Structure 1
Amino acid sequence: MPHTSFLLLSNLQSFWPSLLVIITCFTITIKTLRYNFIQNYSKKQNPNLPPGPKPWPIVGNLPQMLASKPAYKWIHNLMKQMNTEIACIRLGNAYVIPVTCPTIATEFLRKQDATFASRSFSVATDLITSGYSTTVLVPFGEQWKKMKKIITHDLLSPHKHLWLHDKRTEEADNLMFYVYNKCKMVNDGTYGLVNVRNVARHYCGNLVRKITFNSRYFGEGREDGGPGFEEAEHVDSIFDLLNYVYSFSVSDYMPCLARLDLDGHQKKVKEALRKIKKYHDPIVQQRIKQWNHGLKVDAEDWLDVLISLKDANNNPSLTMEEISAQIIELMLATVDNPSNAFEWALAEMINQPELLRRAVEELDSVVGKDRLVQESDIPKLNYVKACAKEAFRLHPIAPFIPPHVSMSDSVVGNYFIPKGSHVVLSRQELGRNPKVWNEPYKFKPERHLKSDADDVVLTEPNLKFISFGTGRRGCPGVMLGTTMTVMLFARLLHGFTWTAPPNVSTINLSESDDDILLAHPLVAIAQPRLQPKLYQRVNRS
């Protein structure tokens, strides 16, 4: 009998690859038939699918996309060639619907928000969210509802924002201390050069670690206030993950190829997660033990809040896996926008010194030169906020927002949108749409100043550009994101005079070939402009 079982198992193992091929071919055939049905349906009915390139059988337009990397440039160029602000591109099994028109975008995310409230599945998001146990990257369903309620009411409420005020201020103070040490006068009488991208990213990383773990450093830290090896690896790994979230991976559109990891994304995501988890998991595990053994009874940070949540039966609301995955997702959502906006804005403002002068004049008028900018000053810093808003418009962190997946067939902009379509609004082209913006490629903060009495906000509800999104999938962290961004701008513009490096007449504003970051990290001369005591040593924890 054991011998018979062994033979049966061996036969099954040898047959399994063939069975997998049969199942895959059957699945592809069914989806191809569905595509043909939809194509025929859209021809017979009015309206049709949005315009797009003719797809190949089974693989759709994947060959064209792979031959024209990066994918976002191919999509944008294709839409411009077709003179359309909405398109339909079939990638494997999926309809991808890119949009560059604010009017059409608002139809998706405001008028029919409930229909487009889900997310697409991908190899990267499955890994990052530990099987879709978080919020931002999770398809519509009960888990998303549960986690969104926790994030909105328990972590990002106005009450919790005020509760964490001192931790944010501590990191804003450390930012000043660190840059002051970076730009001290050197032996030849000149001031040191500052890598602005590095400084901005680590400010964001420090802040989110502080409000999550109540600590700036995983290791010993550095005497000058800068990141140690551990913090540098941590922030670099977060940005590595951001590179592969919804990165038009072949495996996401041809799931039968996922095991092959043809573009190497899966390997890179796993490695970045390994580095992040080696810092996070011991802290989470130790903190859970402290709460379970009564060694901790008062919440001091986000981690404490997540651990201490109870359900109706007084049991923990969240598992360790949910807590760990949600923390990673929160960090992904926190570090990128403020740091990217400041780097781009400062590069633009160094090239237009009158903009830099106007921002500094506003800061001196509101704050003076005898103290540092505080969060309470933010409502009065309209020009500084306009600079940040203009950076969000002209220089977004990513070409597209995360996909909004349709949960039923619908009609938008007089086009048929099939169930399961991936609607991707273009951050880049919405903000640069010449039908909406005058001189769309010029950095003009004043375009956001309607009158002196109006309070400038960083959100854009009509989707003329995208900062925090809107609707059911809109960012619940608008208050935190705004505060981080404005304080980063205000502290560094108020505290230092910024100029181009020696022998550089203007900053090169070219975009990277592979993404829409500044092609080369901004390096500039920073010279302190306040009293030395204002850059004093701060808490090193």
Structure 2
Amino acid sequence: MTPNYPPSDQVSAAGTAATKAFLILLSLLVSIVLTITLKRKRAAASNLPPLPPSPPSWPVIGNLPEIIFHTKPMFRWVHDVMKDMNTDICLIRLPAGGPTIVPVLDPAIAREMLRKHDASFADRPASFGSHVISDGYLTTVMSPTCDDQWRKMRKVLTSEIVSPARHKWLHTKRVEESDNLVFYVHSRCISGKSVDLRIATQHYCGNVMRKMLFGRRYVENHFVPTSDGGPGPMEVKHVEALFTGLKYLYFSGVSDYLPWLRGWDVDGKEKIVREADKTIKALQNPIIDERIRQWRSGERKEIDDLIDVLVTLKDDVDRKPLLTPQEIKSQAAELMMAVIDNPSNAVEWTMAELINQPDLMAKAVEEIDRVVGKESRLVHESDFGSLHYVKACVREAFRLHPVYPFNVPHVSTCDTVVAGYLIPKGSHALLSRYGLGRNPEVWTDPLKFDPDRHLDGTGDHNSVVLAEHDLRFISFSTGRRGCVAAVLGTCMTTMLLARLLQCFTWAPLEDGKGVIDLAEAKDELFLATPLVAFPKPRLAPHLYPKTN
């Protein structure tokens, strides 16, 4: 059932210290009652398999104090605890009434969950962030249950948005943004300027999705494109809001652990989510409103982009519009969020690793030159099947440097036995991107960036794909809740890296003493400092796009 959130003005009025203290005390009383009830039920079913091993916890409130007040972010605390316990699965206790959290670091256990028991782990948590950004779960990825709305929107995605035919239809728009990426970097190059590769990679991803969705790179109607093809102020604002929304989508605050506190913004995270969502919708929704008006008035007659597709879809029975305006807006926001983070993070990390290891970069560049050449053209999507080492570099970045510590959570719909342990109904299963990719039982020298580990050594590298179906790491998840746009994500990531390597040589800033600092950010897995480097052209001048 979708929770009803208090209006924002009521939230603000209620957000006093006294109210928050009262809510916390009330939650503790509720927890005590529920804990006693659950213990009695557990005792009555003593013949059940054991629960996964747990770290020491507090009476009634479980591990909530460690999660909230630990000096490290939650994911680092969880992985430290599991390392100390020497376990690849554990159970983190929360106050009764909140979920139990089950992190998983072992690929075999992950496969058992998402293959053998896929139906039992098909739900998502009903978090504050997902509720706000999806406008009450009108979309696909964030929908808590596989209900009729989810099935409707997933069918739209698979048949109309990310189908092979649609992917081919949108090829020209992706090429335009690949060329604009080269134009942007080359413009800075010839001006003697460095390139912030975080900006370049994130805005390439934003540009590709905006072009496919809205038919335009810039969100403002009358914006004059920048001379170098770079983002304007509203595009910067758009991308920042998208990443903020992604950061606080799940397990961002106390209310995601204690659902009865949702709407009261005890720790201020809900305001951040609301502001990010407000920015995303303020920039996107006017474009969608205008497009709907154009179709309804008959002014627009040709389908040119994905918003046109969504607006013109008809119900099979009465031939009325299949999607409401709100569904179109919500799904457009989710599509933007779904493609912007994974490719950009993987390529920024890959470039940092390759700059620090010139011999590896030379192998990738040599492959591109051999497949594409240096005199006639730039990399095309049709080249990807032969760029084995380039894709191996990306696979290694997905393995070692995932964009987020955990995959989107799965919720157990019933008591389920996995790896001999009972996973209670309602548990939040967190497949650890961070732990799977660095599991020493699976990967030799797991902290080393080594693309060759993804090649088979026989000269036949057709198996180099960015998806990892055995869940030894997570690039695009699997199962009924798996990523439906893996082909698009693979295409964007490979093109982004290949164009950067083919068109330019790269050197670190002088103040870096020739070495890129590969430290991770404290509270997330991005590079702690955005990657900034100096590019130089390496191709004939006529190959660089002259306009953006």
Bucket of the pairwise TM-score, normalised by the shorter protein:
over 0.9
**Match among 478, 485, 492 for residue 486 of structure 2:** 478
Q: How far, CA to CA, are the matches of 1:209 and 1:373 in structure 2? A: 22
Indicate yes or no: 2:213 matched with 1:202: no
TM-superposed CA distance for 1:500, in Å, is: 1.4
Q: How far, CA to CA, are the matches of 2:256 and 2:539 in structure 1? A: 52
Q: 1:297 to 1:48 in 2, by over 3 A?
A: same
Indicate yes or no: 2:510 matched with 1:502: yes
TM-superposed CA distance for 1:182, in Å, is: 1.3
**Match among 324, 327, 337 for residue 322 of structure 1:** 327
Q: How far, CA to CA, are the matches of 2:444 and 2:268 in structure 1? A: 41
TM-superposed CA distance for 1:26, in Å, is: 8.1
Aligned to 1:537: 546
Indicate yes or no: 2:498 matched with 1:490: yes
Q: How far, CA to CA, are the matches of 2:383 and 2:205 in structure 1? A: 20
Q: Deviations over 1:514-537 (max 9, x none)?
A: 111101000111101112222223
Q: 1:519 to 1:295 in 2, by over 3 A?
A: same
**TM-score, normalising length from structure 2?**
0.91
Aligned to 1:392: 398
Aligned to 1:306: 310
Q: 1:84 to 1:248 in 2, by over 3 A?
A: farther
Q: How far, CA to CA, are the matches of 1:26 and 1:397 in structure 2? A: 38
User: AA paired with 1:247?
Assistant: F
Task: Report if the CA contact (8 A) 2:263-2:270 is conserved.
Answer: no
**Match among 433, 450, 460 for residue 453 of structure 1:** 460
- Aligned residue for 1:94, secondary structure, equals coil
Indicate yes or no: 2:533 matched with 1:524: yes
Q: How far, CA to CA, are the matches of 1:58 and 1:277 in structure 2? A: 40
Q: How far, CA to CA, are the matches of 1:286 and 1:27 in structure 2? A: 49
Q: How far, CA to CA, are the matches of 1:63 and 1:113 in structure 2? A: 32
Task: Report if the CA contact (8 A) 2:89-2:102 is conserved.
Answer: yes
Aligned to 2:148: 142
How many percent of aligned residue pairs carry the same amino acid? 50
Task: Report if the CA contact (8 A) 1:398-1:516 is conserved.
Answer: yes
TM-superposed CA distance for 1:256, in Å, is: 2.5
Q: Deviations over 1:74-114 (max 9, x none)?
A: 11111111111001012231110000000101000011101
Q: How far, CA to CA, are the matches of 2:149 and 2:36 in structure 1? A: 32
Aligned to 1:230: 234
Q: How far, CA to CA, are the matches of 2:50 and 2:153 in structure 1? A: 37
Q: Deviations over 1:163-215 (max 9, x none)?
A: 000000000000000000112253xxxxx311111100000000000000000
Q: Deviations over 1:250-304 (max 9, x none)?
A: 1012123223312211100111111111111111111111111122232211111
Q: How far, CA to CA, are the matches of 1:146 and 1:27 in structure 2? A: 37
Indicate yes or no: 2:93 matched with 1:86: no
Q: 1:24 to 1:321 in 2, by over 3 A?
A: farther
Aligned to 2:58: 56
Q: How far, CA to CA, are the matches of 2:61 and 2:322 in structure 1? A: 42
- Aligned residue for 2:527, secondary structure, equals coil
User: AA paired with 1:386?
Assistant: A
| Aligned length, in residue pairs | 517
- Aligned residue for 2:535, secondary structure, equals strand
Q: How far, CA to CA, are the matches of 1:344 and 1:241 in structure 2? A: 22
- Aligned residue for 1:168, secondary structure, equals helix
Indicate yes or no: 2:474 matched with 1:466: yes
Q: How far, CA to CA, are the matches of 1:493 and 1:454 in structure 2? A: 20
TM-superposed CA distance for 1:492, in Å, is: 0.5
Q: Deviations over 1:312-368 (max 9, x none)?
A: 211111111111111111111100011100110111111111000000000000011
Q: How far, CA to CA, are the matches of 1:236 and 1:55 in structure 2? A: 37
Indicate yes or no: 2:263 matched with 1:259: yes
Aligned to 1:428: 434
- Aligned residue for 1:459, secondary structure, equals coil
Task: Report if the CA contact (8 A) 1:205-1:335 is conserved.
Answer: yes
Q: How far, CA to CA, are the matches of 1:38 and 1:339 in structure 2? A: 47
Runs of 5+ unmatched residues, structure 2: 1-18
User: AA paired with 2:175?
Assistant: T
- Aligned residue for 1:260, secondary structure, equals coil
**Match among 274, 278, 281 for residue 277 of structure 1:** 281
Task: Report if the CA contact (8 A) 2:507-2:533 is conserved.
Answer: yes
Indicate yes or no: 2:349 matched with 1:349: no
User: AA paired with 2:514?
Assistant: S
Give the aligned CA root-mean-square deviation in angstroms. Answer: 1.9
Task: Report if the CA contact (8 A) 1:173-1:538 is conserved.
Answer: no
TM-superposed CA distance for 1:57, in Å, is: 4.3
**TM-score, normalising length from structure 1?**
0.92
TM-superposed CA distance for 1:28, in Å, is: 4.2
Q: How far, CA to CA, are the matches of 1:216 and 1:265 in structure 2? A: 30
Q: How far, CA to CA, are the matches of 1:500 and 1:475 in structure 2? A: 35
Aligned to 1:115: 120
Aligned to 2:243: 239
- Aligned residue for 1:424, secondary structure, equals strand
**Match among 325, 332, 340 for residue 337 of structure 2:** 332
Q: How far, CA to CA, are the matches of 1:217 and 1:523 in structure 2? A: 24
Aligned to 2:7: none
Task: Report if the CA contact (8 A) 2:23-2:261 is conserved.
Answer: no
Q: How far, CA to CA, are the matches of 1:91 and 1:498 in structure 2? A: 48
Aligned to 1:67: 69
Aligned to 2:15: none
Q: How far, CA to CA, are the matches of 2:455 and 2:392 in structure 1? A: 7
Task: Report if the CA contact (8 A) 2:111-2:470 is conserved.
Answer: yes
Indicate yes or no: 2:421 matched with 1:406: no
- Aligned residue for 1:115, secondary structure, equals helix
Task: Report if the CA contact (8 A) 1:197-1:521 is conserved.
Answer: yes
**More displaced 10-residue stretch of structure 1: 61-70 or 438-447:** 61-70
TM-superposed CA distance for 1:40, in Å, is: 3.0
Q: Deviations over 1:360-402 (max 9, x none)?
A: 0000000111210011111010000000010000000000001
Task: Report if the CA contact (8 A) 1:117-1:473 is conserved.
Answer: yes
Q: Deviations over 1:4-49 (max 9, x none)?
A: xxxxxxxxxxxxx9x999997886456324432454357x224211
**More displaced 10-residue stretch of structure 1: 199-208 or 176-185:** 176-185
TM-superposed CA distance for 1:226, in Å, is: 0.4
TM-superposed CA distance for 1:464, in Å, is: 0.3
Task: Report if the CA contact (8 A) 1:124-1:265 is conserved.
Answer: no
User: AA paired with 1:445?
Assistant: P
**Match among 106, 111, 115 for residue 106 of structure 1:** 111
Q: How far, CA to CA, are the matches of 2:235 and 2:191 in structure 1? A: 26
Q: How far, CA to CA, are the matches of 2:44 and 2:487 in structure 1? A: 45
- Aligned residue for 1:114, secondary structure, equals helix
Q: How far, CA to CA, are the matches of 1:290 and 1:185 in structure 2? A: 42
Q: How far, CA to CA, are the matches of 1:112 and 1:105 in structure 2? A: 10
Q: Deviations over 1:441-484 (max 9, x none)?
A: 00000111113223210011110000001010110001100000
TM-superposed CA distance for 1:59, in Å, is: 2.8
Task: Report if the CA contact (8 A) 1:244-1:265 is conserved.
Answer: yes
User: AA paired with 1:372?
Assistant: L
Q: How far, CA to CA, are the matches of 1:24 and 1:436 in structure 2? A: 42
Q: How far, CA to CA, are the matches of 1:53 and 1:283 in structure 2? A: 50
